[in-house]
Amino acid sequence: MNLMEYQGKELFRRCGIPVPRSQHCKTPDEVAAFIEKNPGKWVVKAQVLMGGRGKAGKIKFATTAEEGRKVAQEIMATPMPPNRQNPSGEPIHSVLVEETLEVALEAYTAISVDRTTKKPAIIVTKFGGMDVEEVHEKHPESFATFFVDTAIGYSPFIGRELAFKTDLDAGYRKQFPAIVAGMYDLFFKYGAKLVEINPLVLTKDGRVIAADAKVEIDDDALFRHPEFKDWQQVLPLDEDETLATQAGLGIRNFRRFGGTVGTMANGAGLAMGTMDAVKNAGGEIANFLDVGGGANAERVRSCYELVVNHTGAKVFFVNIFGGITRGDEVAKGIVEALKTTKSRKIPLVIRLTGTNEEEGRRILADAGMTPVETMDEGAKRAVELAASGVSS
């Protein structure tokens, strides 16, 4: 679960990380009312999960209540423009009105989970305020990383060491170890996978402040934090995620790609392998779908309907290799799904093997279907059917 800036900053506040004075507002009127009561130089920032707000004109300045109302209206009038990762953009439902900082310097710091060392990694560079991947390309030598021993946890020497190694301006040094301490506290207390401050600003009057907040909470740890329920509700799901949820799947188990060969497999690895097989057979993939373990009739039907009704699939290639998923259960599911669905019928190519495969194949055969033997064969058959439009 990725948090929006205002949510991340709320956690920063709870963990003692300095953030600018701010007010979260849901309407232009609220923005105007806040500035009316609190005269000063304010910046109004769209609250979205997408990056690139500045370039999209979704961060604007205001010094009067009227100006605040006007820029908030402008920001909220149109959604964030689409990019490759978010082809339908993102609507803007709220803004953060924040104190304008007199910026002297901008640095970058983050804590994330490192797979290789199996430890939390604290990453720092003195070049902040830009896309961190760009910085990494241009100034790879500017980065320093510390892998934290979880048995010891964070200790201030780590922050000091990183500040010296990255040649952080002396103005940062006194406050930096305590800020990283707050980040580490947040990281562990809330089960975060990422805590990122970009930029970490040194102001002209010598304050060190987190000007932005990017926090990702581990979905698997959410059961320990029921207090995030309210926040979760305001976080946008994209269309694919919404459809996946409606079909009873995990939000990451379904993605559309615009082709004509619908796919379904059990397990993310096989589902990706199935897409690769379709591509290798010269076909265009309609979707990625991992049905998960223990696929029953209802789940199979909802997946069938999801693909038939919401993608451009002309054929549905079901690829099941049973481990924890039982072949007979899936076969029953497919037969039952086709019997009960009210959606239109498209040809099915079924590859079923693994646990209880004979039983599964018998059930399919009894219902008049013929499973194919291998994944490549199934992909080839599916691509041919999609091209010819002939039903099986």
Which residues are at the interface with other proteins (CB under 8 A)?
A: 84-85, 113, 115-116, 118-120, 133, 136, 149-151, 188, 191, 193, 218, 220-221, 223-224, 250, 252-253, 255, 257, 265-273, 275-277, 279-280, 285, 288, 290, 321-325, 353-355, 374-376
Rounded least distance, CB 360 to other proteins, Å: 12
Q: Which of 6, 108, 184, 190 is catalytic?
A: 108
By beta-carbon proximity to other proteins, the closer residue of 70 and 136 is 136
DSSP string over 329-356: HHHHHHHHHHHH--SPP--EEEEEEETT
CA-CA distance, 313 to 240, in Å (whole number)?
15
Q: Please compute Rg for the chain using Cα positions.
A: 26
The pair phi, psi for residue 285, each rounded to 5°, is -80, 130
Pairing of strands 287-289, 261-265: unpaired
Identify whether 304 is a catalytic site residue: no
Angle, helix 327-340 to helix 297-310, in steps of 10 degrees: 50
CA-CA distance, 374 to 330, in Å (whole number)?
17
By beta-carbon proximity to other proteins, the closer residue of 241 and 336 is 241
**Tokens linked to 391:** 């039903």
Rounded least distance, CB 363 to other proteins, Å: 18
By beta-carbon proximity to other proteins, the closer residue of 343 and 355 is 355
Q: Which of 106, 196, 329, 357 is catalytic?
A: 196
By beta-carbon proximity to other proteins, the closer residue of 75 and 261 is 261
Identify whether 108 is a catalytic site residue: yes
**Tokens linked to 10:** 């709320």
DSSP string over 285-320: B-EEEB--SS--HHHHHHHHHHHHHHS--SEEEEEE
The pair phi, psi for residue 79, each rounded to 5°, is -70, 170
Largest CA distance in the chain: 79
Cis peptide before 236 (omega within 30 of 0): no
**Tokens linked to 351:** 């590859």
Number of H helices, E strands in the chain: 14, 16
In one letter, which amino acid is 1? Answer: M
CA-CA distance, 266 to 287, in Å (whole number)?
14
In one letter, which amino acid is 6? Answer: Y
**Tokens linked to 263:** 């796919």
By beta-carbon proximity to other proteins, the closer residue of 106 and 240 is 240
Q: So which residues are the catalytic ones? A: 108, 196
